[in-house]
Amino acid sequence: MEFGWNTEQRARYATTLAGVRAAFPLDRERDERPFTREDWLRLGKLGVLGASVPERFGGGGLGALDTARVIEAVGEGCSSTGLVFAAAAHQFACARPILDFAEPAVQERLLPGICSGALIAGNAMTEADAGSDVSRLAVTATPTDGGYVLDGTKSFVSNGPVADVYVTYATTDAKAAHLGLTGFVVDRDAPGVVAGPPFEKTGLLGCPAGTVSFDGCFVPDSQVLGAPGLGSTVFQTSMAWERACLFALYLGVQQRLLDACTDHVRRRRQFQRRLSEFQAVSHRLAEMKLRLESGRLLLYRACWELDREVGGDDGEYGGDDREYDGDVRNDSREDDREYGGDVRDDSREDDRDGSGGDDRHDQDEGREDGVLWAALSKLAVSEGVLETAMDAVRLFGARGYLREDGIEAALRDAVPGTLFSGTSDIQREIIARELGL
Amino acid sequence: MSDIERADLLEKLIGFVRDDLLNGQAGAELTPTTPLLEWGVLDSIKTARLLAFIRDDIGVRVPPKKMVGDHFKDLEHVTDLVLELQQPVG
């Protein structure tokens, strides 16, 4: 077991952090409005939008763990957490399914633009009656000559109002229930696609979200992801990336909050003493640090598991090794109520062959843990950042409640993290089932 | 695999679905051709539990690309899938 980063990894984090700080200097007004095309292109230049995409498509060619560190650095360096979220959702819920399941011609056409920032992608899964349980989608895809006709409305699509391309899911075989869904790539300018205006939201204001409707929208066979009926697996694969890597942005946010709070309590004095000298204050910071580092360990472990499941020369999904984790749950939005959970009796015995060494980790055993680690990580990081943001508000007092310092913004940005990519209760459900309950 | 072995596998799968997924309820109505997906016997969670059973008790890992409706429409098809995946490669 090795907990250190190598020279290249440390340098990448430092370079990304410095680059994003230079590209996105503190600007509270910017943080309160949806991102611009210029913002997006800057992220593309920094290598954020396609970090996990192979270099031949213009991406960074990084694995899940190194990609997560890039996202963490951007989360720490850029105060517009909504923008960072938009970028991460674009990559993990859109670029990854296209990379892992789209036809080569579609990959060639879209991935370079997705990596550079020339294109914005949105993941369209959530429906009015399909939140935690998206096994029966009201959006349908009816086979026709040369493709499918999509009809219906997706109710919450992050990046939806501004996206150039959507990854979406529709029912193609209602009798097959959750195994009758199919994933599609749909161009924004395809006839029949209507993107609604941005919603008024609580947090992540840098990321516009809205409805996307399909009204007799023709999608060619070539833009089916994987195969008809494989939508559940396609979506689940993207969720594996999202849960493992996207939440690294909240590690960056926690680091930023911890630094700001540490600085604040050292400077501010009350009752002729520094705030840091009050044990109630210093212990609160100790808890914030504990939460951050616990989340880091879990998230890095989840990414490590994902890296072991991903095959290919440059980070493409191997396809056969990841377990079906049993749910069709959630896209990259902020207020869904998804259901999910792998159900697996985790009753295997630990290393009883007497080898006892450090190099005895069994490949199959590790693969079986991927879903568990992703759920543990997602739960710890999303709840951790929420609690830490609330702690930061308490430590800053009235200043924490005002918009000027951006502390309350972190609290608003943290709330949706407990909802999207499977709610906290869904993660607990997954963990419980992983325990064989 | 012989017909007898296939029948044993099918019986094993029926037993798991009846006893573990349906908790013994409606067991008498469960047949090899009961439409598992259409009737809601298998939802997403129960599908995952079935896969765990196939992996842990039968020793077959179902790859994601096989996770389509045709392979899970009833226990006859699930049995065929498991048998197909048990075949040695090459």
A387 by DSSP, 3-state: which?
helix
Note the pLDDT of residue A396. 97
> What average pLDDT does the segment B17-38 reach?
85
Report which residue type is found at A257: L
Test the A interface: residue of B17, B38, B45, B73 with most A CBs within 10 Å: B45
Q: Tell me the pairing of strands A224-225 and A165-171.
A: unpaired
Which of A342, A347, A368, A178 is closest to B49 using CA atoms? A342
Report how far residue A209's alpha carbon sits from residue A201's, in angstroms, rounded to the nearest whole number. 9
Residues 6 or more apart in contact with residue A381 via CB below 8 angstroms: A247, A248, A250, A251, A295, A298, A299, A417
pLDDT along chain A (437 residues), means of 10: 93 98 94 96 98 98 98 98 98 97 98 98 92 84 98 97 98 94 98 97 97 98 96 92 96 98 97 97 98 98 92 45 47 32 31 36 50 95 98 96 93 96 91 80
Chain B residues close to A339, C-beta within 8 Å: 44
In CATH, what class is B3-86?
mainly alpha
Note the pLDDT of residue A344. 27
Q: Please report the sign of the dihedral spanned by the C-alpha atoms of residue A38, residue A39, residue A42, residue A48.
A: negative
How far does the CA of residue B4 sit from the closest CA of chain A (Å)?
Answer: 28
Correct CATH for A234-350+359-434 of 3.40.50.2020, 3.30.300.30, 1.20.140.10, 1.10.3720.10: 1.20.140.10
Q: Which of A242, A309, A338, A429 is catalytic?
A: A242
Mean pLDDT value across chain B: 88
Domain boundaries, given as residue ranges, for chain B: 3-86
Which of B23, B76, B10 is closest to B49 using CA atoms? B23
Test the B interface: residue of A125, A172, A178, A433 with most B CBs within 10 Å: A178
Beta bridge partner(s), residue A166: A122, A186
Token readout for B18 is 């009846």
How many CB contacts within 8 angstroms connect chain A with chain B? 102
Report how far residue A252's alpha carbon sits from residue A229's, in angstroms, rounded to the nearest whole number. 37
Contact at CB, B43 and A328, closer than 8 angstroms: no
Per the rule left: phi > 0, alpha: psi between -120 and 50, beta: everything else, A210 is beta
ipTM: 0.89
Q: Which residue from A179, A325, A326 is facing B37, i.e. has the nearest CB?
A: A179
The answer to whether B14 faces chain A, any CB pair under 8 Å, is: no
Contact at CB, A173 and B69, closer than 8 angstroms: yes
Q: What is the largest CA-CA distance in chain B?
A: 42
Q: Residue A218's Cα: distance from chain center in Å?
A: 29
Query: What is the CATH code for A7-120?
Result: 1.10.540.10
How confident is the model over A82-124, as pLDDT tens digits?
999 999 999 999 999 999 999 999 999 999 999 999 999 999 9
Query: What is the CATH code for A123-231?
Result: 2.40.110.10
Report how far residue A61's alpha carbon sits from residue A313's, in angstroms, rounded to the nearest whole number. 9
Report how far residue A190's alpha carbon sits from residue A163's, in angstroms, rounded to the nearest whole number. 12
How confident is the model over A178-210, as pLDDT tens digits?
999 999 999 999 999 999 999 999 999 999 999
Note the pLDDT of residue A310. 76
DSSP A139-178: -EEEEETTEEEEEEEEEEEETTTT-SEEEEEEES-GGGGG
Per the rule left: phi > 0, alpha: psi between -120 and 50, beta: everything else, A156 is beta
How far does the CA of residue A229 sit from the closest CA of chain B (Å)?
Answer: 5
Report how far residue A16's alpha carbon sits from residue B54's, in angstroms, rounded to the nearest whole number. 44
Which of A296, A320, A201 is closest to A248 using CA atoms? A296
The pair phi, psi for residue A338, each rounded to 5°, is -90, 160
Residues 6 or more apart in contact with residue B2 via CB below 8 angstroms: none
> What average pLDDT does the segment B46-61 reach?
90
Report which residue type is found at A419: L
Domain boundaries, given as residue ranges, for chain A: 7-120, 123-231, 234-350+359-434
